[in-house]
Structure 1
Amino acid sequence: MVMTQLTNLSPRESKTVSPLTLITLDLDETVWPSESVLKKAEEIQFKWLQQRAPRLTASHDLDSLRAHRRLIREQYAEIAYDLTAVRTTSLRLLLKESDDSPDLAEEAIGVFLEARNWVTPYADVPPVLEKLARTYRLASLTNGNADVQCTPLKAHFHFSLTPCIAGAAKPAPDMFQQALEQAGVEPHQAVHIGDHPECDVIAAQQVGMRAVWINRREAPWPADLPPPEVIIKDFHELERWLFQQIKI
């Protein structure tokens, strides 16, 4: 496999159409940073719980809630792929344990999810997606629980898939295969963009799609994995790479 590192490349002019018709994109750390958003969403939810479930918050803080979710993922393998289901199950159990109403769990998750969607895309993303959406079908494939239709990028995506919808999380092939079926394209007509070497790049390649590794943090590629075909630092480089795929 030939690895292409994009730097200082100029778009090639062409009037023909690229064979690529579908672009699938990861969300967290690909189109927006998520660490601070998740932290803020959990803090907002915790303040809500302090008002509605005081016995729970008297015995748990944010760290112990995270630890309990990790335990739930280990104990409930059947829902481990669905982060929202894990959060809901964990809260219901803890609410019951603390003699607060377990029925508060769903409302508390709603509070969390609303804040979870208060994302700020990387500056390079919106202008490039706006242009790409005119030529390609764009789909988001995320293992997280952000709803792209509730974010500033909603106008650019034709459809979105999550573990809850697909019934599995990346690197399982389900989400990629469902995206291909929904778009009505063959694997060679699609490319996936993501930041995770295994869940995004290798997983997409294993279903026959092309894959682009976005490496915003200039991290080293795992030595035990075959090298990626293409590495980009931002969406401007993605746009230039897509221009290069147009056959003259």
Structure 2
Amino acid sequence: MAISQPASLPPCESQSVSNLALITLDLDETVWPSKAVLRKAEETQFKWLQQQAPYLTAKHDLESLRSHRRFIRERYTEIAYDLTAVRTASLRLLLEEFGYSPGLAEEAIAIFLEARNWVTPYTDVPPVLEKLARTYRLASLTNGNADVQYTPLKAHFHFSLTPAIAGAAKPAPDMFYRALEQAGAEPHQAVHVGDHPECDIIAAQQVGMRAVWINRLETPWPADLPPPEATIKNFHEFEQWLLQETKTQKPSANLF
């Protein structure tokens, strides 16, 4: 699925107080909780399948469908990084197995993706992103399949990247390099915020970006990994960290 680009975002202001140009953000468990919305999206799709493919749903429930997707990821490693492709391939095979047109899979996926975007951002996120988007390029880097253009946060992102676009999922460096290239920024001019120690923090640091770990649940950092540069519990704390960091840097010409 191609991720669309916001068309009406205001341009970055020219009064940048540091050489920071790009802020990349993970989505699930960083800017919104995902477990409930994923469950609801799967339930919505399943109800549709009950009408369109009753023989399939008579033999499979939500858990067995998840098990089949795990099988697809293990068997078809060439698409394992793309969760939407895995879901589509799984449904196509199951539909065909039960005598239905595999083409129904695309309709079922559309039903799922529409519900997948019914997210509710954490309350600290929208006001902070609204301010940051006036000064910096904001980009979402997600291993999931939510499209920010169809969420309440659509006005704040300049562009969005997924494994389907980058050709690999985090912690591979592809998505980070693609974001830097698209923003016209060098690694030292970018900071990434995410909740996953390896896929977000270590991965961003390995390409030369700064990385801030958002730890909303206050879980321990893995003992076998080097510590993050900074840890925050919400985006208000990220705003304060960013303000403190920019005070220590000399102003430079804005890249935009």
TM-score by length of 1: 0.93
- Partner in structure 2 of residue 149 of structure 1: 149
SS at match of 2:160: strand
After superposition, where does 1:176-195 map in structure 2 within 5 Å?
Answer: 176-195=176-195
The reply to whether residue 54 of structure 1 matches residue 54 of structure 2 is yes
Structure 1 unmatched ranges of 5 or more:
1-14
- Partner in structure 2 of residue 24 of structure 1: 24
How many percent of aligned residue pairs carry the same amino acid?
A: 82
- Partner in structure 1 of residue 117 of structure 2: 117
Structure 2: which amino acid aligns with 1:64?
S
- Partner in structure 2 of residue 230 of structure 1: 230
The reply to whether residue 45 of structure 1 matches residue 48 of structure 2 is no
CA distance in 2, matches of 1:49, 1:149: 26
Cα deviation, 1:2-54, whole Å, max 9, x if unaligned, reads: xxxxxxxxxxxxx8712111000000000000000000000000000000011
- Partner in structure 2 of residue 127 of structure 1: 127
Cα offset, 1:213, TM superposition: 0.2
Q: Are the equivalent residues in 2 in contact too, given 1:16–1:247 (CA < 8 A)?
A: no
The reply to whether residue 206 of structure 1 matches residue 179 of structure 2 is no
- Partner in structure 2 of residue 7 of structure 1: none
CA RMSD of the aligned region, Å?
A: 0.9
SS at match of 1:180: helix
Cα deviation, 1:44-68, whole Å, max 9, x if unaligned, reads: 0000000001111011000000000
Structure 2 unmatched ranges of 5 or more:
1-14, 249-256
Structure 1: which amino acid aligns with 2:219?
A
Cα offset, 1:246, TM superposition: 1.4
Structure 2: which amino acid aligns with 1:122?
Y
Query: For this pair of structures, how many residues does the alignment match?
Result: 234
TM-score by length of 2: 0.90
- Partner in structure 1 of residue 172 of structure 2: 172
CA distance in 2, matches of 1:236, 1:242: 10
Moved over 6 A (4+): none
Cα deviation, 1:63-83, whole Å, max 9, x if unaligned, reads: 000000001000000000000
Q: Are the equivalent residues in 2 in contact too, given 1:41–1:112 (CA < 8 A)?
A: yes
Structure 2: which amino acid aligns with 1:223?
A
Structure 1: which amino acid aligns with 2:225?
L
CA distance in 1, matches of 2:100, 2:16: 63
Q: Are the equivalent residues in 1 in contact too, given 2:16–2:135 (CA < 8 A)?
A: no
